[in-house]
Amino acid sequence: MQFLKDDGALVCRHAGETLRIEAWGQDAFRVRATMASQFTGNDWALTEKVNKSGAQISIDEEDFWVGDGSIAKQPIATIVNGRLKAVVNFAGVLSFYRDDTLILREYFRFYGGTLSKESRCLKIVNREWKGVIGGSEYALNVKFESNKGEKIFGMGQYQQDVMDLKGCVLELAQRNSQISVPFAVSSLGYGFLWNNPAVGRVTFGTNYTEWIARATKEMDYWITVADTPKQLLTNYTAVTGRAEMFPENLMGLWQCKLRYRTQDEVLSVARQYQKEGIKIDQIVIDFFHWTVQGDWKFDTKYWPDPKAMVDELHSMGIKVIVSVWPSVDRKSENFGPMMERGLLIRTERGAAQTYDYQGDCVEIDPFNPETREYIWEVCKKNYFDYGIDAFWLDNSEPDYGVYDFENYRYCEGPALTVSNLYPQLYSRAFYDGMKKENKGDVVNLLRCAWAGSQKYGNVVWSGDVPSTFEAFADQIQCGLNMGLAGIPWWTTDIGGFMTDDVNDEDFRQLLIRWYQFAVYSPVLRMHGDRGPYNIPPLDTRDWGGGYLHTGQPNELWSYGEENYTIMREYYDLRISMHDYIKGLFEEAHENGSPLLRAMFYEFPQDEVCWTLQDQYMFGDKYLVAPILHLNQWTRDVYLPAGSWKLTSTGEVFKGGQTVTVDCPITYMPVFEKQ
**DSSP string computed for 83-122:** TEEEEE-TT--EEEEETTEEEEEB--B-TTS-SSSSSTTS
Q: What is the 3-state secondary structure (H, E, C) of 401-463?
A: CCCCHHHEEECCEEHHHHHHHHHHHHHHHHHHHHHHCCCCCCCEEECCCCCCHHHHCEEEECC
In 3D space, the residue among 86, 71, 72, 88 whose CA is nearest the CA of residue 2 turns out to be 88
Q: CA torsion, points 284, 290, 295, 297, in degrees to nearest 10?
A: -60
Q: What is the DSSP letter of 559?
A: G
Pairing of β 622-624 and β 408-410: unpaired
Residue 397's SS3 state is coil
Distance (Å, whole) CA 524 – CA 457: 17
Say whether 209 sits in a helix, a strand or coil. strand
- Taking each helix axis from N to C terminus, what angle separates 369-382 and 422-436, rounded to the nearest 10 degrees? 50
Give, rounded to a whole angstrom, the gap between the first and last alpha carbons of the chain: 58
397 annotated active-site: yes
Instruction: Note whether 415 and 409 are within 8 A (CB).
Output: yes
Asked if 504 and 496 count as a contact pair (C-beta separation under 8 A), the reply is no
CA distance 415 to 468: 33
The contacts of residue 123 (CB under 8 Å, 6+ apart) are 109, 110, 111
Q: Indicate if 394 belongs to the active site.
A: yes
Angle 554-512-461 from CA coordinates, rounded to 5°: 65
* Catalytic choice (218, 329, 397, 474): 397
312 close to 266: Cβ distance less than 8 angstroms: no
β partners of residue 571: none
Closest C-alpha among 157, 158, 128, 152 to residue 140: 128
Map residue 592 onto helix, strand or coil: coil
Spot the catalytic one: 363, 394, 399, 529: 394
Is there a catalytic annotation at residue 356?
Answer: no
Q: How far apart are CA 187 and CA 271, in angstroms?
A: 50
Report how many helices (DSSP H) and strands (DSSP E) the chain contains, helices first. 12, 41
Strands (E), 15-70: 17-23, 28-34, 56-65
In one-letter notation, the amino acid at residue 47 is: T
Catalytic residue among 464, 539, 620, 672: 464
> Which H/E stretch holds residue 182?
strand 179-186
Work out the angle between the directed axes of helices 578-591 and 561-576 (0-180°, nearest 10): 60
3-state secondary structure of 626: coil
Check: CB of residue 83 under 8 Å from CB of residue 225.
yes
The set of catalytic residues is 394, 397, 464
